[in-house]
Amino acid sequence: MPSNLKRPFDHQPLHCSAEHHLWHHGAALAIYSKAGALTVPKKEGEPRKHFYCTQPTLAKFLGGHTNTAHNAMNFLRKNGWLVPAGQEDHYNWVNHADWARAHEGKCIERKIVPAEAA
């Protein structure tokens, strides 16, 4: 039966994102998200800052074990989400678009409509 009701908002399809790739790795997703937030430039046009945080500090912040932070950081480095920046424990945060270019074929290619995902 067709509905004559209008949607209260414009529909936005779900597109591939870092969350799609990292959601099975909760601690890695949390660290990646925090690293992204901490490295945003203060002024438009400035380069993104390096992410720097020790694994014990990350573990304390996230309320987890140091081994969990260590494993999550290893996962992010190994999979190209955080790239060493030259100094120990300094990393460049890689956005999804740049990551996708370097990892062709890893992203979902269809647009998932939230109503279809259920």
The CA distances from residue 15 to 20, 35, 61, in Å, are 9, 21, 30
CB-based contacts of 90: which residues, under 8 Å, 6+ apart? 50, 51, 52, 84
Whole-number Cα distances in Å, 100 to 4, 71, 81, 89, 110: 40, 22, 10, 24, 15
For residues 62 and 25, give the distance between their C-alpha atoms in angstroms, rounded to a whole number: 14
**Whole-number pLDDT of residue 38:** 95
In the chain, which stretches have pLDDT less than 70? 1-14, 109-118
